[in-house]
Amino acid sequence: MKYSLERIADPSVMPITLATLKKNIHLHPTVGTEQDDVLNMYIEAAADEVEQHLRRSLITQDWRIKIDGAPEYIYLLRPPVQEVIEIVATVEDLDGNQTDEVVSDYEINTDDSPAVLKPEWPDNTVSVSVEYRAGYGDEPTDVPASIRQAITLFASHMDDARTGEIEIPVAVYLLIKSRRMYAKSPI
C-alpha cells in the first residue's frame, strides 16, 4: 500500500527560546538584537534536525497521513499523539463513483510509540486519510529537558562554527538517543 505523510499545521513556538540560546552562548538576553535573526535561524535548524532524527513531534503540530487501501491498523507516525482530529474513508460504489465518509468508529492505543489506530472501515473503502495532532505540548517546557538541551547545544555549536563546518556534536546524540523513534511505515 502506498502512503504519504504531511505536516498540515506547524508548531506555534520553537522548543527553546531565543533567551535560552542567548544565555547559553553568554549573550545577555536584553542586550542587542542585531543577531536575533541569525540565532533564531540556528534554533529552527537545530530543532528541525533533532525532530527529524528523533522522528517525533516536539511542539504541538498537526499531521495528515493518506493511504491507498484500508489497512487493518495504522501507525500514527511522528509521536507522541495527542488526539485524532478526523478520519475519512474514500468509498467507491459499483459504478466507480467515489465519496468520502467520516469514520468515527475506531480504537487508538497512544501508549504505544507510535500510536496504533484501528478503525472500522466502511465496505468498499479504496483509500483513507487520518488527521491527528502530535507533540509533547504547546510550550517549550512540555518538551523533555534532554531534548531541549540537545537543541540548545546544537544551536550554540552553530553559533560557534559560523564560518566553518558544522558537525553535530556527539553530546547532542547522547542526549536524545533513548527517545529516537525507529523506522516504521504507517501500515
Q: Is a pLDDT exceeding 70 seen at residue 120?
A: yes
Per-residue pLDDT band for 31 (boundaries 50, 70, 90) equals low
Tell me which range, 26-30, 150-154, 171-175, is most confidently predicted by mean pLDDT.
150-154
Helices 36-54 & 145-160, crossing angle to 10 degrees? Answer: 130
* Integer Cα distance of 82 and 125 in angstroms: 26
Q: How far, in Å, CA of 134 to CA of 129, rounded?
A: 16
136-164: pLDDT as tens digits: 999 999 999 999 999 999 999 988 777 67
The cell numbers describing 70, all together, are 484500508
Residue reference for cell 531565543: 18
What are the structural domain ranges in the chain? Answer: 15-56+140-179, 61-134
Closest-CA residue to 73 (of 150, 186, 159):
186
